[in-house]
Amino acid sequence: MNTAILLLFLYGLVLADPQAIFLNQYNADMAASNVAVEAGGMLYLASNDDVASLKMITITNGGSSLTLNQLLNQNGLKLASNQLTIKSTIPSASSATLSGFLYATTAAQANDNTFSVTVVNGGQQLNRAGGQTTTVILNVEFKQNFPPFDAPKRTTYVTGINQFGSTSLNFHHGLPAADYQTLKSNQFFENPQYFDNDGGQEKILFKSVEPMQVNLPYWYITADGPYSMTLDGTYRNVIHNTTSVNTTGVFVLTDVWLPHYVNFVTDPTRKGNTFTLVTTELKREAQVVFTNDESAFPATYAPGNNLIHAFIGSNFKSERLVVNGTDIYPGTMYLQYYVWTGYLLPTTTVPTTVRTSSRPITSTTVATSTKSCNKLKVFLSLLVLVCVI
Protein backbone atom coordinates (compact mmCIF):
# COMPACT_ATOMS: atom_id res chain seq x y z
CA MET A 1 0.00 0.00 0.00
CA ASN A 2 1.14 3.48 -0.87
CA THR A 3 2.55 5.30 2.20
CA ALA A 4 0.36 8.36 1.72
CA ILE A 5 -2.79 6.24 1.66
CA LEU A 6 -1.57 4.32 4.67
CA LEU A 7 -1.05 7.57 6.56
CA LEU A 8 -4.55 8.71 5.65
CA PHE A 9 -5.92 5.48 7.06
CA LEU A 10 -3.87 5.90 10.22
CA TYR A 11 -5.18 9.40 10.77
CA GLY A 12 -8.71 8.37 9.91
CA LEU A 13 -8.91 11.00 7.16
CA VAL A 14 -10.20 8.78 4.39
CA LEU A 15 -12.56 10.74 2.19
CA ALA A 16 -15.24 8.58 0.62
CA ASP A 17 -17.49 9.64 -2.24
CA PRO A 18 -21.16 10.18 -1.43
CA GLN A 19 -23.08 7.08 -2.38
CA ALA A 20 -26.35 5.20 -2.48
CA ILE A 21 -26.27 1.66 -1.08
CA PHE A 22 -29.18 -0.48 -2.26
CA LEU A 23 -30.59 -2.91 0.33
CA ASN A 24 -31.38 -5.65 -2.21
CA GLN A 25 -27.63 -6.37 -2.50
CA TYR A 26 -27.54 -7.97 0.97
CA ASN A 27 -28.96 -11.28 2.19
CA ALA A 28 -28.60 -13.97 4.86
CA ASP A 29 -26.18 -16.06 2.75
CA MET A 30 -23.62 -13.27 2.84
CA ALA A 31 -21.10 -12.41 5.51
CA ALA A 32 -21.31 -8.91 6.98
CA SER A 33 -20.21 -6.38 4.31
CA ASN A 34 -18.06 -3.33 4.91
CA VAL A 35 -18.73 -0.14 2.96
CA ALA A 36 -16.30 2.81 2.98
CA VAL A 37 -18.05 5.97 4.17
CA GLU A 38 -16.76 9.26 5.51
CA ALA A 39 -16.57 9.81 9.27
CA GLY A 40 -18.60 12.92 10.08
CA GLY A 41 -20.94 12.34 7.13
CA MET A 42 -24.64 11.60 7.52
CA LEU A 43 -26.40 8.37 6.66
CA TYR A 44 -30.05 8.44 5.51
CA LEU A 45 -32.51 5.68 4.64
CA ALA A 46 -35.10 6.00 1.85
CA SER A 47 -37.40 3.01 2.09
CA ASN A 48 -41.03 1.96 2.20
CA ASP A 49 -40.10 -1.71 2.54
CA ASP A 50 -42.02 -3.52 5.24
CA VAL A 51 -40.80 -2.93 8.79
CA ALA A 52 -40.33 -6.67 9.38
CA SER A 53 -37.66 -6.71 6.63
CA LEU A 54 -35.98 -3.56 7.87
CA LYS A 55 -35.69 -5.15 11.33
CA MET A 56 -33.61 -7.94 9.74
CA ILE A 57 -30.87 -5.60 8.50
CA THR A 58 -28.33 -4.35 11.04
CA ILE A 59 -25.82 -1.60 10.41
CA THR A 60 -22.76 -1.03 12.60
CA ASN A 61 -20.66 2.12 12.60
CA GLY A 62 -18.19 3.43 15.19
CA GLY A 63 -18.92 0.55 17.56
CA SER A 64 -22.70 0.98 17.76
CA SER A 65 -25.35 -1.00 15.92
CA LEU A 66 -28.92 -0.40 14.96
CA THR A 67 -31.51 -2.03 12.73
CA LEU A 68 -32.87 -0.17 9.72
CA ASN A 69 -36.37 0.23 11.18
CA GLN A 70 -34.67 2.27 13.92
CA LEU A 71 -32.80 4.37 11.34
CA LEU A 72 -36.11 5.00 9.55
CA ASN A 73 -37.47 6.63 12.70
CA GLN A 74 -34.66 9.12 13.07
CA ASN A 75 -33.61 11.90 10.75
CA GLY A 76 -30.31 10.37 9.63
CA LEU A 77 -27.34 8.99 11.53
CA LYS A 78 -24.10 10.88 12.05
CA LEU A 79 -21.30 8.55 10.92
CA ALA A 80 -18.67 8.12 13.63
CA SER A 81 -16.14 6.12 11.61
CA ASN A 82 -15.07 5.39 8.04
CA GLN A 83 -16.54 1.94 8.00
CA LEU A 84 -20.19 0.99 7.74
CA THR A 85 -20.92 -2.69 8.29
CA ILE A 86 -24.15 -4.10 6.88
CA LYS A 87 -25.55 -7.51 7.87
CA SER A 88 -28.85 -8.86 6.61
CA THR A 89 -30.69 -11.98 7.81
CA ILE A 90 -33.23 -11.80 4.96
CA PRO A 91 -33.29 -14.99 2.83
CA SER A 92 -31.71 -14.39 -0.59
CA ALA A 93 -34.99 -15.29 -2.35
CA SER A 94 -36.83 -12.35 -0.79
CA SER A 95 -33.98 -9.83 -0.54
CA ALA A 96 -34.38 -8.98 -4.25
CA THR A 97 -37.80 -7.45 -3.58
CA LEU A 98 -36.35 -4.76 -1.30
CA SER A 99 -36.41 -1.31 -2.93
CA GLY A 100 -34.91 0.90 -0.22
CA PHE A 101 -31.44 2.35 -0.12
CA LEU A 102 -29.03 4.05 2.24
CA TYR A 103 -27.42 7.35 1.30
CA ALA A 104 -24.11 8.48 2.81
CA THR A 105 -23.01 12.13 2.51
CA THR A 106 -19.53 13.55 3.00
CA ALA A 107 -18.60 15.25 6.30
CA ALA A 108 -18.43 18.63 4.54
CA GLN A 109 -22.00 18.18 3.30
CA ALA A 110 -23.18 17.12 6.77
CA ASN A 111 -21.57 20.25 8.27
CA ASP A 112 -23.00 22.60 5.64
CA ASN A 113 -26.27 24.04 6.92
CA THR A 114 -27.29 25.02 3.36
CA PHE A 115 -27.21 21.31 2.39
CA SER A 116 -30.26 19.21 3.21
CA VAL A 117 -31.78 15.84 2.43
CA THR A 118 -35.49 15.07 1.96
CA VAL A 119 -37.12 11.65 1.59
CA VAL A 120 -40.29 11.76 -0.51
CA ASN A 121 -42.76 9.24 0.91
CA GLY A 122 -46.16 10.89 0.36
CA GLY A 123 -46.93 14.55 -0.28
CA GLN A 124 -44.88 17.33 1.24
CA GLN A 125 -44.06 20.98 0.77
CA LEU A 126 -40.42 21.95 0.20
CA ASN A 127 -39.53 25.52 1.18
CA ARG A 128 -36.04 26.97 1.13
CA ALA A 129 -35.53 30.42 2.61
CA GLY A 130 -32.72 31.75 0.44
CA GLY A 131 -29.02 31.93 -0.33
CA GLN A 132 -27.17 29.16 -2.14
CA THR A 133 -28.77 25.85 -1.16
CA THR A 134 -28.47 22.20 -2.15
CA THR A 135 -31.36 19.84 -1.47
CA VAL A 136 -31.11 16.12 -2.14
CA ILE A 137 -34.36 14.31 -2.94
CA LEU A 138 -34.56 10.57 -2.18
CA ASN A 139 -37.54 8.57 -3.45
CA VAL A 140 -39.13 5.45 -2.03
CA GLU A 141 -40.69 2.83 -4.30
CA PHE A 142 -43.79 3.84 -6.25
CA LYS A 143 -46.59 1.58 -4.99
CA GLN A 144 -50.18 1.48 -6.22
CA ASN A 145 -52.75 -1.32 -6.41
CA PHE A 146 -53.18 -1.10 -10.16
CA PRO A 147 -50.08 0.74 -11.34
CA PRO A 148 -50.08 2.10 -14.91
CA PHE A 149 -48.09 0.04 -17.42
CA ASP A 150 -45.35 2.68 -17.64
CA ALA A 151 -45.17 3.29 -13.88
CA PRO A 152 -41.60 4.09 -12.83
CA LYS A 153 -39.94 2.22 -9.98
CA ARG A 154 -39.49 5.49 -8.10
CA THR A 155 -40.64 9.00 -8.90
CA THR A 156 -41.11 12.50 -7.55
CA TYR A 157 -44.17 14.38 -8.83
CA VAL A 158 -43.18 18.04 -8.65
CA THR A 159 -45.85 20.75 -8.81
CA GLY A 160 -46.38 24.36 -7.77
CA ILE A 161 -42.82 25.54 -8.31
CA ASN A 162 -42.44 29.10 -7.03
CA GLN A 163 -39.13 30.89 -7.59
CA PHE A 164 -39.40 34.00 -5.45
CA GLY A 165 -37.78 37.18 -6.78
CA SER A 166 -35.16 36.18 -9.34
CA THR A 167 -34.14 32.84 -7.82
CA SER A 168 -32.26 30.54 -10.19
CA LEU A 169 -33.31 26.94 -9.84
CA ASN A 170 -31.47 23.88 -11.19
CA PHE A 171 -32.41 20.22 -10.95
CA HIS A 172 -29.57 17.71 -11.27
CA HIS A 173 -29.46 13.96 -11.80
CA GLY A 174 -27.14 11.88 -9.64
CA LEU A 175 -25.96 12.70 -6.13
CA PRO A 176 -24.02 15.83 -5.21
CA ALA A 177 -20.32 14.93 -5.31
CA ALA A 178 -17.69 16.11 -2.85
CA ASP A 179 -17.30 19.27 -5.00
CA TYR A 180 -21.07 19.83 -4.98
CA GLN A 181 -20.77 23.63 -4.89
CA THR A 182 -19.42 23.66 -8.46
CA LEU A 183 -22.07 23.56 -11.15
CA LYS A 184 -21.75 20.47 -13.34
CA SER A 185 -23.38 19.73 -16.64
CA ASN A 186 -25.78 17.26 -14.99
CA GLN A 187 -28.67 19.76 -14.84
CA PHE A 188 -31.87 18.42 -16.39
CA PHE A 189 -33.85 21.53 -15.47
CA GLU A 190 -32.67 25.16 -15.49
CA ASN A 191 -34.75 28.25 -14.88
CA PRO A 192 -33.93 30.99 -15.86
CA GLN A 193 -32.42 30.09 -19.20
CA TYR A 194 -30.16 32.11 -21.50
CA PHE A 195 -31.02 32.26 -25.19
CA ASP A 196 -28.81 33.59 -27.98
CA ASN A 197 -30.47 36.64 -29.45
CA ASP A 198 -29.03 39.08 -31.96
CA GLY A 199 -25.42 38.44 -31.01
CA GLY A 200 -26.11 38.61 -27.28
CA GLN A 201 -27.74 36.43 -24.68
CA GLU A 202 -31.20 37.04 -23.34
CA LYS A 203 -32.17 35.76 -19.92
CA ILE A 204 -35.72 34.50 -19.49
CA LEU A 205 -37.05 33.44 -16.11
CA PHE A 206 -40.14 31.35 -16.79
CA LYS A 207 -42.86 32.16 -14.25
CA SER A 208 -44.84 29.14 -15.38
CA VAL A 209 -43.31 25.70 -14.79
CA GLU A 210 -45.39 22.67 -15.74
CA PRO A 211 -45.85 19.76 -13.27
CA MET A 212 -43.17 17.13 -13.79
CA GLN A 213 -42.43 13.50 -12.95
CA VAL A 214 -38.82 12.94 -11.98
CA ASN A 215 -38.51 9.17 -12.42
CA LEU A 216 -35.27 8.66 -10.51
CA PRO A 217 -34.26 7.06 -7.19
CA TYR A 218 -32.48 10.28 -6.22
CA TRP A 219 -31.75 13.74 -7.64
CA TYR A 220 -30.92 17.17 -6.25
CA ILE A 221 -31.87 20.81 -6.42
CA THR A 222 -29.55 23.81 -6.31
CA ALA A 223 -30.82 27.36 -5.96
CA ASP A 224 -29.47 30.80 -5.19
CA GLY A 225 -32.54 32.21 -3.48
CA PRO A 226 -35.89 31.38 -1.89
CA TYR A 227 -38.26 28.93 -3.55
CA SER A 228 -41.05 26.50 -2.76
CA MET A 229 -42.63 23.50 -4.44
CA THR A 230 -44.78 20.47 -3.69
CA LEU A 231 -43.22 17.01 -3.86
CA ASP A 232 -45.22 13.80 -4.01
CA GLY A 233 -44.61 10.16 -4.87
CA THR A 234 -47.57 9.77 -7.25
CA TYR A 235 -47.42 9.02 -10.99
CA ARG A 236 -49.69 9.89 -13.90
CA ASN A 237 -49.19 10.05 -17.64
CA VAL A 238 -51.98 12.23 -19.03
CA ILE A 239 -52.18 14.59 -21.97
CA HIS A 240 -50.90 17.76 -20.38
CA ASN A 241 -52.38 21.14 -21.36
CA THR A 242 -50.36 24.24 -20.57
CA THR A 243 -52.06 27.41 -19.41
CA SER A 244 -49.38 30.04 -20.11
CA VAL A 245 -47.94 31.01 -23.50
CA ASN A 246 -44.48 31.26 -21.84
CA THR A 247 -43.70 28.03 -20.10
CA THR A 248 -41.18 25.30 -19.39
CA GLY A 249 -41.41 21.68 -18.32
CA VAL A 250 -39.40 18.49 -18.07
CA PHE A 251 -39.62 14.84 -18.96
CA VAL A 252 -37.32 12.42 -17.15
CA LEU A 253 -37.92 9.12 -18.92
CA THR A 254 -36.30 5.91 -17.74
CA ASP A 255 -37.22 2.24 -17.88
CA VAL A 256 -40.65 1.74 -19.57
CA TRP A 257 -41.77 4.47 -21.98
CA LEU A 258 -45.19 5.19 -23.39
CA PRO A 259 -45.82 8.31 -25.49
CA HIS A 260 -46.10 11.59 -23.58
CA TYR A 261 -48.17 14.50 -24.92
CA VAL A 262 -48.29 18.22 -24.24
CA ASN A 263 -50.71 20.72 -25.78
CA PHE A 264 -49.47 24.31 -25.66
CA VAL A 265 -51.65 27.39 -25.48
CA THR A 266 -50.48 29.89 -28.08
CA ASP A 267 -50.96 33.54 -28.86
CA PRO A 268 -52.15 33.70 -32.51
CA THR A 269 -50.95 37.30 -32.81
CA ARG A 270 -47.31 36.54 -31.96
CA LYS A 271 -44.45 34.41 -33.16
CA GLY A 272 -43.11 31.56 -31.08
CA ASN A 273 -39.92 29.88 -29.95
CA THR A 274 -39.14 26.34 -28.89
CA PHE A 275 -35.94 25.19 -27.21
CA THR A 276 -34.90 21.99 -25.50
CA LEU A 277 -32.18 21.05 -23.01
CA VAL A 278 -31.39 17.39 -23.63
CA THR A 279 -29.32 14.64 -22.04
CA THR A 280 -29.63 11.12 -23.44
CA GLU A 281 -28.39 7.65 -22.52
CA LEU A 282 -30.36 5.70 -25.10
CA LYS A 283 -30.41 2.06 -26.14
CA ARG A 284 -33.06 2.68 -28.83
CA GLU A 285 -34.03 5.69 -30.90
CA ALA A 286 -36.30 8.30 -29.34
CA GLN A 287 -38.36 11.02 -30.99
CA VAL A 288 -39.24 14.49 -29.76
CA VAL A 289 -41.72 16.10 -32.13
CA PHE A 290 -43.13 19.61 -31.75
CA THR A 291 -45.89 20.50 -34.19
CA ASN A 292 -48.30 23.27 -35.12
CA ASP A 293 -51.07 23.27 -37.69
CA GLU A 294 -48.67 24.03 -40.55
CA SER A 295 -45.41 22.23 -39.83
CA ALA A 296 -43.22 20.23 -37.47
CA PHE A 297 -39.97 20.60 -35.55
CA PRO A 298 -38.94 16.98 -35.03
CA ALA A 299 -35.74 15.61 -33.50
CA THR A 300 -34.58 12.02 -33.49
CA TYR A 301 -32.11 10.94 -30.82
CA ALA A 302 -30.06 7.90 -31.65
CA PRO A 303 -28.36 5.48 -29.26
CA GLY A 304 -24.58 5.80 -29.37
CA ASN A 305 -24.73 9.59 -29.87
CA ASN A 306 -25.48 10.31 -26.25
CA LEU A 307 -25.87 13.99 -25.49
CA ILE A 308 -24.84 15.77 -22.33
CA HIS A 309 -26.69 19.00 -21.56
CA ALA A 310 -27.28 19.87 -25.22
CA PHE A 311 -29.28 22.94 -26.11
CA ILE A 312 -31.32 22.63 -29.28
CA GLY A 313 -34.08 24.85 -30.55
CA SER A 314 -35.71 26.96 -33.19
CA ASN A 315 -37.98 29.95 -33.71
CA PHE A 316 -40.79 27.45 -34.08
CA LYS A 317 -44.23 28.06 -32.61
CA SER A 318 -45.29 24.87 -30.85
CA GLU A 319 -48.87 23.82 -30.36
CA ARG A 320 -48.17 20.19 -29.49
CA LEU A 321 -45.35 17.92 -28.31
CA VAL A 322 -45.05 14.15 -28.51
CA VAL A 323 -42.12 12.33 -26.87
CA ASN A 324 -41.83 8.67 -27.73
CA GLY A 325 -39.37 5.81 -28.04
CA THR A 326 -39.09 3.20 -30.78
CA ASP A 327 -39.16 0.51 -28.09
CA ILE A 328 -40.77 0.36 -24.67
CA TYR A 329 -37.27 0.26 -23.11
CA PRO A 330 -35.33 2.92 -25.08
CA GLY A 331 -33.10 3.97 -22.18
CA THR A 332 -32.96 7.32 -20.39
CA MET A 333 -33.77 10.80 -21.63
CA TYR A 334 -33.83 14.10 -19.76
CA LEU A 335 -35.79 16.62 -21.82
CA GLN A 336 -36.57 20.15 -20.71
CA TYR A 337 -38.68 22.20 -23.11
CA TYR A 338 -38.97 25.98 -23.21
CA VAL A 339 -41.87 27.29 -25.24
CA TRP A 340 -42.56 31.00 -25.37
CA THR A 341 -44.19 33.55 -27.56
CA GLY A 342 -43.71 37.14 -28.53
CA TYR A 343 -40.01 37.01 -27.92
CA LEU A 344 -38.70 37.44 -31.43
CA LEU A 345 -35.46 35.91 -32.50
CA PRO A 346 -34.05 37.55 -35.64
CA THR A 347 -35.69 35.85 -38.62
CA THR A 348 -32.29 35.38 -40.28
CA THR A 349 -31.19 32.97 -37.50
CA VAL A 350 -30.63 29.42 -38.68
CA PRO A 351 -33.61 27.39 -37.50
CA THR A 352 -31.56 25.23 -35.19
CA THR A 353 -28.94 26.50 -32.79
CA VAL A 354 -26.88 24.48 -30.39
CA ARG A 355 -25.33 25.46 -27.13
CA THR A 356 -23.82 23.02 -24.67
CA SER A 357 -23.93 24.84 -21.38
CA SER A 358 -25.86 27.69 -19.91
CA ARG A 359 -24.66 30.33 -17.54
CA PRO A 360 -23.86 28.77 -14.18
CA ILE A 361 -25.15 29.90 -10.81
CA THR A 362 -21.62 29.59 -9.43
CA SER A 363 -18.35 29.47 -11.31
CA THR A 364 -18.27 26.59 -13.72
CA THR A 365 -15.35 24.26 -14.29
CA VAL A 366 -16.67 22.47 -17.34
CA ALA A 367 -13.49 21.81 -19.30
CA THR A 368 -13.25 23.26 -22.79
CA SER A 369 -12.36 19.87 -24.20
CA THR A 370 -15.58 18.42 -22.77
CA LYS A 371 -17.52 21.27 -24.32
CA SER A 372 -16.18 20.75 -27.82
CA CYS A 373 -16.69 17.02 -27.45
CA ASN A 374 -20.32 17.63 -26.48
CA LYS A 375 -20.71 19.95 -29.43
CA LEU A 376 -19.45 17.25 -31.75
CA LYS A 377 -21.95 14.83 -30.29
CA VAL A 378 -24.72 17.36 -30.78
CA PHE A 379 -23.78 17.87 -34.41
CA LEU A 380 -23.64 14.13 -34.98
CA SER A 381 -27.13 13.87 -33.61
CA LEU A 382 -28.32 16.82 -35.68
CA LEU A 383 -27.35 14.93 -38.81
CA VAL A 384 -30.42 12.84 -38.21
CA LEU A 385 -32.56 15.83 -37.29
CA VAL A 386 -34.88 16.79 -40.08
CA CYS A 387 -36.48 20.19 -39.99
CA VAL A 388 -39.75 20.49 -41.86
CA ILE A 389 -40.49 24.18 -41.60
Ligand X SMILES: *[C@@H]1O[C@H](CO)[C@@H](O)[C@H](O)[C@H]1NC(C)=O
User: Per-residue x/- mask for ligand X, residues 257 to 286, rule CB under 6 A?
Assistant: --x---x-----------------------
Count of chain residues binding ligand X (CB under 6 A): 16
Q: Which part of the chain contacts ligand X (CB under 6 A), choosing from 9-17, 22-30, 236-244, 290-298? A: 236-244
Assess 251 for contact with ligand X (CB under 6 A): no
Residue 205 binds ligand X (CB under 6 A): no
Q: In the complex, what is the shortest distance from the CB of residue 341 to ligand X, in angstroms, rounded to a whole number?
A: 6
Between 83 and 326, name the residue whose CB sits nearer to ligand X.
326
Q: Using CB under 6 A, pick the residue from 238, 243, 348, 350 that binds ligand X.
A: 238
The answer to the question of residue 318 lying near ligand X (CB under 6 A) is: no
Q: Name which position in 167, 246, 279, 306 contacts ligand X (CB under 6 A).
A: 246
Rounded to the nearest whole angstrom, what is the least distance from the CB of residue 159 to ligand X in the complex? 13
Instruction: Note whether 192 binds ligand X by CB under 6 A.
Output: no
Q: Which of 220, 275, 338, 340 binds ligand X (CB under 6 A)?
A: 340
322: contact with ligand X by CB under 6 A? yes
Whether 161 and 125 have beta carbons less than 8 Å apart is answered as no
Could you say whether residue 325 binds ligand X (CB under 6 A)?
yes
Instruction: Compare residues 106 and 341 and give the one whose CB is closer to ligand X.
Output: 341
Which is nearer to ligand X, 143 or 283 (by Cβ)? 283
Name which position in 81, 178, 226, 343 contacts ligand X (CB under 6 A): 343
Which residues lie near ligand X (CB under 6 A)? 238-239, 241, 245-246, 259, 263, 322, 324-327, 340-343
